[in-house]
Amino acid sequence: MATWFDESRLEDELALAGADLRLRWLAESGARVRREAAESSEALGLAVERAASGRPRAVVAAGPDSRLVRAVLEPSCPVPFVAWPSPNLPGWVGSLDLVVVLAPDGGDPATASAVAEAVRRGSQVVVAGPERSLVAEHAAGRDATVLPVMTGDQLAVAVLVLSFLDRVGLGPSAEPEEVAAALDAVAIACSPHRDISVNPGKVLALTLADSLPLVWGGSVLAARAGRRVAESIRRASGRGALAGDAEHLLPVIEAARQHTVFDDPFDGGDGAGPRPVLVVLDDGADDPVRHEQRSTLTRAADERGVRVEVIAAEASSEVARYAELLLSGTYAAEYLRIGLVED
């Protein structure tokens, strides 16, 4: 059964009401960051106090979005950092190391096993998870602290952990209020009540409707946001969406047939399917290599008549800019879901 994009649904109250729960979840992203920070403030202070005894030999992060923590910390962390996906910690982890665990739902047995092992080895352990959960139960120890969370939001939990690492001098600035403010700004700009002509989320959804999205982010954090955005687009539309480095996306752009005025806008003009569209996630990272990669991609896009869309983030901290890019792309994916209908 064929699907097509009906842009009128993005202004239709009934269609938007049908997606109210998902849109409301996106709109409340900033509120969840504030809530987690407020509810965990006392425990966070205790964790910072315990960490004041000295800098750890290394930091190990486990759980959902541990790779986000790695992307933030690796450029500036003064000690070795490892994002560890396995329930069994590296053999070298011991009492000199810090283990941080992100457990938004707290019910994963593998994560609970990693926490129990860290406690047994005498490591300093900081767990962000529900207070009454399987993971929290295994965090009982003299040097273990549970940061109680309750929203189940991976981003809000990651911001809480990054805030802790910031306060103990192991990471860059990650002020929850700043991240929440950036998320609020996106929610206002992409509100379903804003007209399509001034709504960046709806505009991007229109661009993606009949295209193959190629999502590129120059920095490590923008690239991670790009992977999450491409995943959201695939889940919302059931169609392809690619995220990758410049050398991965460039061949797809160069393979696009030269666009002409006679092309059918709904396929490549020769039955090849949707044309690619390059979506650039710009977090303001100023790096000569990334600047050259972006120029290469956009130059190739111009030569092949491939459209280029830019999502820019303007928050002052890199964590807030990551959150801004992620939520902007997720809004576009949700509006794409709303606009797609079946014949």
The pLDDT tens digits for 3-39 are: 889 999 999 999 999 999 999 999 999 999 999 999 9
Q: Domain ends where: 173, 201, 222?
A: 173
**pLDDT tens string 161-207:** 999 999 999 999 999 999 999 999 999 999 999 999 999 999 999 99
Q: Is residue 181 part of a domain?
A: no
Please state, rounded to an integer, the average pLDDT across all residues of the chain: 92
The answer on 52 and 125 residing in a single domain is yes
What is the rounded average pLDDT of the residues 59-71?
Answer: 90
Q: Is residue 24 part of a domain?
A: no
- pLDDT, residue 342, reads 81
- pLDDT, residue 269, reads 46
Structural contact between residues 227 and 243, judged by C-beta atoms closer than 8 angstroms: yes
Q: Could you give the residue ranges of the DSSP H alpha helices within 152-287?
A: 154-167, 176-189, 200-208, 220-237, 246-254
The answer on 109 and 197 residing in a single domain is no
- pLDDT, residue 322, reads 96
Burial group, residue 64, by CB count within 10 angstroms (0-12, 13-18, 19+): middle
The answer on 164 and 199 residing in a single domain is no
The answer on 106 and 64 residing in a single domain is yes
Strands 340-342 and 3-5: antiparallel
- pLDDT, residue 265, reads 54
**pLDDT tens string 224-276:** 999 999 999 999 999 999 999 999 999 999 999 876 665 655 554 445 678 99
Tokens of 293: 């990669």
Greatest mean pLDDT range, 57-61, 262-266, 338-342: 57-61
- pLDDT, residue 140, reads 86
What is the rounded average pLDDT of the residues 210-233?
Answer: 95
Higher pLDDT, 4 or 158: 158
Higher pLDDT, 325 or 107: 325
Q: How many residues does the chain have?
A: 343
Residue 59: CATH number of its domain? 3.40.50.10490
Higher pLDDT, 289 or 3: 289
Q: Is residue 227 part of a domain?
A: yes
Q: Which H or E run contains 233?
A: helix 220-237
- pLDDT, residue 2, reads 72
**pLDDT tens string 265-288:** 555 444 567 899 999 999 988 889
- pLDDT, residue 233, reads 97
The answer on 243 and 115 residing in a single domain is no
Q: Is residue 63 part of a domain?
A: yes
Q: For the chain, how many structural domains are there in total?
A: 2
The answer on 37 and 15 residing in a single domain is no
What is the DSSP track for 4-37?
A: EE-GGGGG-HHHHHHTHHHHHHHHTHHHHHHHHH
Q: Is residue 263 part of a domain?
A: yes
Structural contact between residues 304 and 275, judged by C-beta atoms closer than 8 angstroms: no
Q: Which H or E run contains 318?
A: helix 318-339
The answer on 219 and 149 residing in a single domain is no
Q: Domain ends where: 173, 207, 238?
A: 173
Q: How far apart are CA 185 and CA 194, in angstroms?
A: 13
- pLDDT, residue 84, reads 86
Amino acid (1-letter code) at residue 336: L
- In this prediction, what percent of the chain has a pLDDT beyond 70? 95
The answer on 219 and 132 residing in a single domain is no
Print the domain residue range for 123.
31-173
- In this prediction, what percent of the chain has a pLDDT beyond 90? 80
The answer on 169 and 59 residing in a single domain is yes
